[in-house]
Structure 1
Amino acid sequence: MDEQSSLLALFTTSFLSATLLPGGSEAVLFGVLTAYPQLFWPALGFASLGNTMGGMSSYAIGLFLPDEKALLKQSGGNMRGLEWVRSHGSLVLLLAWVPIVGDLLCVAAGWLRINWILAMLFMAIGKFVRYWAIAAAMSV
């Protein structure tokens, strides 16, 4: 696989990994950086962009969930996680990279109508730092 195809595969895997679908973008990042170490920064950029866009797709899903009263009735009144997101706002999306929990945070942010620009910014920062840590650990 050439450099461009590797970066496209990394972007695609990173996008899908950030949705409610399971994925392994870290393994693809490892493969790309092993095959093409000179792509360190482009690989981090493509992985972070794809993962952020995937997270924003989960945010968009949250926009289409039923209103709060209907969801409260369905959940039996257990809304602690949503209250945590509501009280901390877009900052919680620094944790959007955390498996399973991160997807739910992105959906909750959309459902709560958290400012999408701030949501995307904090989501991107958290996801970039995670990929950077993985790539830096590989370089040691």
Structure 2
Amino acid sequence: MEFIHEYGIVGLFFISFAAATILPFSSEAFLFGAVKAGLSKADIFWSASLGNFLGGVSCFYLGHLGKLSWCEKYLKISKGQINRWQNLIQSYGPGLAVLTWLPIIGDPLAVALGYFRCHPKFVFLTMYIGKAMRYVFVIWLANKL
């Protein structure tokens, strides 16, 4: 709570950005704290959803830079695993980006969408929708509790 009082909406933006990368923490607790601290719900929504979206975009472009040899050498991901991800992404396309808000699979999914060169326009649209809807729900829940 002290973090929210000290850094406010700007701090929430950076927390939300970092939470959308491979860093293992959740922005929801900070968002909940911001609601309870009485910050503007509209400011909370825009700050958190934009920060989280831009973090997801950074994961997408990180994947876009990826190479098969790097995946095998540094991430210990086999060609078989990459082929499974490729089949999944080819089957469902950029619409999968709506799930990038999910814990554990969201960040690798954003990276995979970039790695397999999915169309950014559609990926970013569905990614933002998924992330924004999650924050609408968390703000609503925090307001009710």
Sort the TM-score into its range (normalised by shorter chain).
Answer: 0.7 to 0.9
Instruction: Tell me which residue corresponds to 1:16.
Output: 18
Equivalent residues of 1:95, 1:126 under 8 A apart: yes
How many Å separate the matches in 2 of 1:77 and 1:5?
Answer: 45
1:32 aligned residue: 34
Q: Deviation digits for residues 45-98 of structure 1, max 9, x if unmatched? A: 110000000001000111111159x86xx6142322331112211100100000
How do residues 1-140 of structure 1 correspond to structure 2 at under 5 angstroms? Answer: 5-37=7-39, 39-67=40-68, 75-78=78-81, 79-140=83-144
TM-score by length of 1: 0.88
Distance 1:90 1:138, change over 3 A: same
Amino acid in the other structure paired with 2:14: T
Q: Which runs of 5+ in 1 are unaligned?
A: none
Which amino acid is the alignment partner of residue 59 of structure 1?
F
Q: Check whether the contact 1:18–1:54 (CA below 8 A) recurs between aligned residues.
A: yes
Give the distance between the partners of 2:47 and 2:6, measured in 1 at CA. 11
Q: After the TM superposition, which parts of structure 1 deviate over 4 Å for at least 4 consecutive aligned residues? A: 1-4
TM-score normalised by L of structure 2: 0.85
Q: CA deviation at 1:42?
A: 1.3
CA shift, 1:138, in A, is 1.4
SS of structure 2 residue aligned to 1:77: helix
Count of residue pairs brought into register by the alignment = 136
Provide the identity percentage: 35
Contact 1:59–1:110 (Cα < 8 Å) also in 2: yes
Cα deviation for residue 4 of structure 1 reads 8.9
- Please, what is the CA RMSD of the aligned residues? 2.1
